[in-house]
């Protein structure tokens, strides 16, 4: 069997069947920078305001007195268990956090005031005291603290 034949067989083995031939599968092919840019554009279309393109400032959008950082996650698998997870720096430089969840056939956006995020929601990333993450293995049943801040359409 040739190298290319092995690669072809691995493609079917390693590809996540949840994403095969789904409308949002193109998003999984983007690198992290492009995926994050897509998420910022999406949130900007939903909330309006001004985009901040400075790398020195952590918030991505300012709208109606809100300074918003944007984080995106796509449905994935850890040890063959479906999961959704976001990583972020919790700092005083933004007032709201927009969490974008990308599913194979759907997407959800949550705009949460920082003070409404429970202390127990995010945990410290090992070896990175300045980074936090939220991971759930119930990506279709998100916690109540998140659901109250879902954006369903543009303001």
- Report percent pLDDT > 90 for the chain: 57
For position 122, what pLDDT does the model report?
A: 87
Question: What are the backbone angles phi and psi of residue 45, rounded to the nearest 5°?
Answer: -65, -35
For position 12, what pLDDT does the model report?
A: 59
For position 75, what pLDDT does the model report?
A: 94
How many independent structural domains does the chain possess? 1
Average pLDDT value for the chain: 88
- Report percent pLDDT > 70 for the chain: 92
56 or 69: whose pLDDT is higher?
A: 69
Q: Supply the DSSP symbol for 59.
A: -
For position 57, what pLDDT does the model report?
A: 75
For position 139, what pLDDT does the model report?
A: 95
Contact by Cβ (8 Å): 67, 95:
yes
End-to-end Cα, the chain, rounded Å: 56
Domain that includes residue 32, residue range: 3-151
Domain containing residue 101: CATH number: 3.40.1350
The pLDDT confidence band at residue 84, using thresholds 50, 70 and 90, is very high
Contact by Cβ (8 Å): 62, 71:
no
> In this structure, what token pair is assigned to residue 26?
């193109």
- Length of the chain, in residues: 155
For position 6, what pLDDT does the model report?
A: 67
Residue 39 has pLDDT above 70, yes or no: yes
Contact by Cβ (8 Å): 84, 76:
yes
**pTM, to two decimals:** 0.87
């Amino acid at each position: 069997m040739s190298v290319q034949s092995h690669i072809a067989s691995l493609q079917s083995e390693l590809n996540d069947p949840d994403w095969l031939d789904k409308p949002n599968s193109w998003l999984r092919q983007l690198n992290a920078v492009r995926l994050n840019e897509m998420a910022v554009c999406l949130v900007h279309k939903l909330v309006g305001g001004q985009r901040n393109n400075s790398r020195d400032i952590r918030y991505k959008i300012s709208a109606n007195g809100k300074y918003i950082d944007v984080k995106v996650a796509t449905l994935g698998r850890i040890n063959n268990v479906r999961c959704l997870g976001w990583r972020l720096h919790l700092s005083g430089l933004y007032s709201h956090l927009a969490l974008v969840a990308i599913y194979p056939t759907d997407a959800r956006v949550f705009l949460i005031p920082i003070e409404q995020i429970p202390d127990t929601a995010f945990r410290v990333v090992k070896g990175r005291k300045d980074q936090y993450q939220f991971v759930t293995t119930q990506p279709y049943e998100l916690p109540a603290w998140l659901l109250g801040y879902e954006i369903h359409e543009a303001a």
